[in-house]
């Protein structure tokens, strides 16, 4: 049987594509991967959140100078605490974890937007110069009342 030259060429191209796809998938599975969340905060056992010193009492802590720490637990379908207040001209480091399923912690109008994965502590730092009010919401679908999952961040003078 005589295969036309074009067919041979396309056969070769198809083989290269198939090998390429397999290589891509393999690289994705075993390669360095992409860090979806800032995992600087380390890991945590979702069952022992209440015993963890960072999350047994959620809320804002003054660390010193203009630095604050906000420890927040996400769960279906709320944040604990649901309202956070920090002074203007402060630098706030957020530590957020989830008690149940994957949520997000998104402060509307800022670049604070992280996935919140059970077992992980998402950490991010932001500066708040001006007084203002920001909505906090969940961007990851987390069940029936996902759309009601919200909080509030107050930056007070
Ligand atoms: Cu939590 Cu959507």
Per-residue pLDDT of 65-81, as tens digits, reads 999 999 999 999 999 99
Is the distance from the beta carbon of residue 149 to the nearest atom of ligand 1 less than 6 Å? yes
Tell me: do 117 and 100 sit in the same domain. yes
* Alpha helix segments (H runs only) across 4-151: 5-30
User: Domain check: are 45 and 102 in the same one?
Assistant: yes
Say if ligand 1 is within 6 A of residue 140 CB: yes
ipTM value for the complex: 0.98
pLDDT digits (tens, 9 = 90+) for 48-68: 888 888 898 999 999 999 999
Residue 28 has pLDDT above 90, yes or no: no
User: How many angstroms separate the alpha carbon of residue 41 from the centre of ligand 1?
Assistant: 20
Are 107 and 124 in the same domain? yes
Whether residue 37 has pLDDT greater than 50: no
Report which protein residue has its CA nearest ligand 1's atom 1.
103
Burial 31-62 (b: 16+ CB within 10 A, else e): eeeeeebeeebeebebeebeebebbeebebee
Distance (Å) from CA 146 to ligand 1 centroid: 4
* Cβ(73) – ligand 1 distance below 6 Å: no
Residue 111: which CATH number? 2.60.40.420
């Amino acid at each position: 049987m005589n295969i036309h030259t074009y067919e041979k060429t396309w056969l070769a191209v198809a083989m290269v594509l198939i090998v390429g796809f397999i290589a891509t998938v393999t690289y994705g599975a075993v390669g360095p991967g992409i860090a979806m969340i800032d995992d600087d905060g380390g890991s945590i056992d979702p069952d022992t959140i209440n015993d963890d010193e960072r999350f047994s009492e959620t809320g804002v802590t003054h660390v010193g100078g203009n630095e604050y720490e906000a420890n927040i637990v996400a769960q279906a379908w709320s944040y604990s605490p649901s309202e956070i207040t920090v002074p203007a001209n402060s630098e706030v480091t957020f530590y957020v974890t989830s008690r149940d399923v994957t949520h997000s912690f998104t402060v509307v109008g800022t670049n604070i937007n992280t996935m919140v994965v059970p077992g992980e502590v998402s950490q991010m730092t932001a500066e708040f110069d001006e007084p203002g009010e920001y909505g906090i919401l969940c961007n990851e679908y987390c069940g029936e009342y996902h759309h009601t999952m919200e909080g509030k961040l107050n930056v007070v003078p």
